[in-house]
Amino acid sequence: MSGQTPGAETRENRLKRLQMRSMRRGIKEMDILLSAYAEANLAVMSEADLDLYDRLLHENDQDLYQWVTGQVPAPEAFSELVQHIAQTYQ
């Protein structure tokens, strides 16, 4: 037995799922931004950071785009993560 709770997601599967969700957003700009960020960062992120990123991926693409481009401030919970994502392309 692997010691995992039945139905628990392995880290490998979680990283694959988050990478896929980063690439298939709905608007091309967010596909590009998030897939590049995910590829560069997911493998080294802590479980808490992955939890936060997973929550971010549930947000609306239009909101995410405005946060990442600085048009609208990101909610405090996502502020640091959004800044890190935005720096991927600076």
Provide, rounded to the nearest whole percent, the portion of the chain with pLDDT above 70.
90
Cα 89 from Cα 85, distance rounded (Å): 8
Question: According to the model, what pLDDT value does residue 10 have?
Answer: 97
Q: Binning pLDDT at 50, 70 and 90, where does residue 41 land?
A: very high
Measured CA to CA, the distance from residue 3 to residue 5 in angstroms comes to 7
Inform me whether the pLDDT recorded for 55 exceeds 60: yes
Q: For residue 1, is pLDDT > 50?
A: no
Q: Is the Cβ–Cβ distance between 72 and 57 less than 8 Å?
A: no
Helix pair angle (11-23, 47-56), 10° resolution: 30
Q: pTM, whole model, 2 decimals?
A: 0.88
pLDDT 10s digits, 13-27: 999 999 999 999 889
